[in-house]
Structure 1
Amino acid sequence: MNQELSTAQAPAAYQFRPIGVVRSPRTVPQHDHWGDVSAVIELDPEQLEPDAVAGLDQFSHLEVVFHFHLVPESDTVRGSCPPRGRGDLPALGILAQRLKERPNRLGVSRCELAGVDGLTLHVRGLDALDGTPVLDVKPYQQIFQPAPETVREPTWLRAAMSAYYF
């Protein structure tokens, strides 16, 4: 780490104001079967003007940044644990998995954009619960993804996550 940018000099906290909220039929956390879940992201007209979504309907998918608002800060993991609470998998550091109990409780998800109706975004496959605060929405763009042949993952990951969207 750069000596000039030590954590002692970093701001103590950041504050974000949600730009919207998720409306979903799912109200309790579940590990799997998110692919067919239809939901709505209601964007806040106090945060965004109507033309903030201009052109968004030209994209098939979104990347949504949200806050795991139902996870108490006291439940966050700052070290390691088995993914999905499965003792048959090796313990991984919290930064090596996508667990909701992360230190800042931020989630990032890709989902299909089914439609745009004013400041209402209709989506499928968003793995966020009803009432989840949305911090940002970005169009998914393949140009920003790494070349598939350069991606490396643990061998057990595909089997462990095989039902996530199916």
Structure 2
Amino acid sequence: MSDTKQTFPDMILRPVGVVHSEIKKPMLAAGESGLSLELRMEKVKAHHREVEECICKLVIDPEWEELLDGIDGFSHVLVLYWPHLIDPARRKLRKVHPMGRKDIPMQGIFATCSPARPNPVLVSAVPLVARNGNVLTVKGLEAVDGSPIIDVKPYSKSYLMVDKLKMPDWMEQIHRELEID
């Protein structure tokens, strides 16, 4: 077993680009008591439908443009981004009610998709609509306008799909309520 207290060099992440989106504020807010939904549950479903149709521009810094060569051969990409509007103090949250829902028991941050985490790196698999030079147009990205992009990767089912996926009942419930496949 490895020692989790070992010393690692400083990790420095530099954005490779920025998200341009119509989404101006996050759906979830991280406060001292955990997560809270910024929308009432009846509007969350509508919000998810709007996000599914939302077209975003991923503007990659021109110095990295050649790294995009070949990406337009893929139908989907993974976008890794930083939720820049999360208060750094909220990165100390240990447990939350998923999606701020008090009807779901508290879960450890690593068991949720909460943006309030020790290293708030978020990832989304989204359809790639087009590439124009250093700009990727994607659909369905729930990143807030101005979110720094950490990385873009092609989506390949041979690497990322899993068989016999298991999720806890509370996550299954959220997916059913939001009609997520």
Aligned to 2:19: 22
* Structure 1 runs not aligned, ≥5 long: none
Q: Give 1:145 shift.
A: 2.2
TM-score between the two structures when normalised by the length of structure 2: 0.81
Q: Distance in 1 between matches of 2:58 and 2:105?
A: 35
The share of aligned pairs that are identical, in percent, is 32
Contact 1:125/1:165, CA 8 A, preserved across alignment: no
CA 71–92 in structure 1, closer or farther in 2 if over 3 Å, else same: same
Question: Which among 148, 158, 165 is matched to residue 133 of structure 1?
Answer: 148
Q: Distance in 1 between matches of 2:70 and 2:26?
A: 32
Aligned to 1:156: 170
AA of the residue aligned to 1:134: I
Q: Distance in 1 between matches of 2:88 and 2:161?
A: 32
Q: Does 1:7 align with 2:21?
A: no
Q: Distance in 2 between matches of 1:64 and 1:125?
A: 11
AA of the residue aligned to 2:168: P
The Cα offsets for residues 25-81 of structure 1, whole Å up to 9 and x where unpaired, read as 0111126412111100000013x1x33211111111110111111101101244211
Q: Supply the RMSD in Å over aligned alpha carbons.
A: 1.9
Q: Distance in 2 between matches of 1:7 and 1:71?
A: 27
Alignment coverage as a number of residue pairs: 160
AA of the residue aligned to 1:14: M
AA of the residue aligned to 1:23: H
Aligned to 1:45: 62
Matches within 5 A, 1:1-166: 1-3=1-3, 6-11=4-9, 13-30=10-27, 32-33=47-48, 34-46=51-63, 48=64, 50-149=65-164, 151-161=165-175, 162-163=177-178
Q: Distance in 2 between matches of 1:35 and 1:154?
A: 24
TM-score between the two structures when normalised by the length of structure 1: 0.88
- Bigger fraction of residues in helix: 2
The Cα offsets for residues 76-123 of structure 1, whole Å up to 9 and x where unpaired, read as 244211101111001110000110111111111111100000110000
Q: Give 1:15 shift.
A: 1.3
Q: Distance in 1 between matches of 2:117 and 2:141?
A: 18
Which segments of structure 1 move beyond 6 Å, counting only runs of 4 or more? none
The Cα offsets for residues 139-158 of structure 1, whole Å up to 9 and x where unpaired, read as 00000124332x11012313
SS of the residue corresponding to residue 10 of structure 1 reads coil
